[in-house]
Structure 1
Amino acid sequence: MDRTFVMVKPDGVARGLVGDIVSRFESKGLKLVAAKLEKLPEKRVREQYQEHLEKPFYPSLQHYITSGPCFLMVWEGRNVVKVARAIIGATNPAEAAAGTIRGDLAMDIGRNVVHGSDSPESAKREIGIHFAGTELVAYKRIDEPVLYE
């Protein structure tokens, strides 16, 4: 099975949306294999958003991500990066479809509730930034036989 990284950002945590967000991934049939709530240190934020370090919006992004706790998760499933991105919705909530996390729960691109890896390569890198291998738990969901052919 494939893995991806998903993070509920400080606005999602502050608004009490963690349970709703986790429920959407679980209801789809994805398996939660790691999770933790923490206030991210600036070093890991820089690693997480390395492609944006030189962009004018980065200081604001860093301030926002370090402003409160984030809920970090690793999800597992077939084609999980693509599936998770569909559940999350477009980066700009104004363009996100109804039924997606951002389409239902966010109003502004600067407070779009959740981050999800955009490729399998990014997922591997982001998981490595935030989780030690020993923090990922292997188990079987009871409904796996009816989720996949």
Structure 2
Amino acid sequence: MLRHDRHYWLQRAEFEIDNGDFSLADSYVQAGRGCQNGQHDRYLITCGARLRLKWSATDPTDAERLKGACDAVDDLHDVVWGPEGANAPHAFVALADDAARWLLKCNRALGYRRYVDLLDQITADVAHGEICTERNDVDAATRQFTQRLKTLRENIPGFPI
């Protein structure tokens, strides 16, 4: 019965992400996506994005994971600006926390232009979190991101050409 419940797989994946078993988490995300409506579930999209960001941060030189993490930022962007954005606080928190940490860890591998573009996008997406009214987790993540913004700007790789 549970094997058809996408939120069961979501919870399993989140647990494994938090414990650093990214390969197992990925298999759980894929199982959740295979359930009815799993491909469009904002929670699974957010979980899959968090997974790709955290996994890429473990090895910034892995080009495939780096691309996956860039795609993850785009997926989170689509969630927060989509029709269910106001009901997607986890996506805002993932952008403010996981994406910011990933940027800092992978800055050199991203290069100047991609880093700056991603930082601008993430900053705008986090600011859009104001649509999640009365959400302490979004407010806290936004404050933390704002405090981290100076460091993010100081770590822009290279210099503009």
Normalization by structure 2: what TM-score? 0.26
Normalization by structure 1: what TM-score? 0.28
* Greater RCO, CA 8 A, separation 6+: 1
| Structure whose CA Rg is larger | 2
Instruction: Tell me which protein shows more strand as a share of its residues.
Output: 1
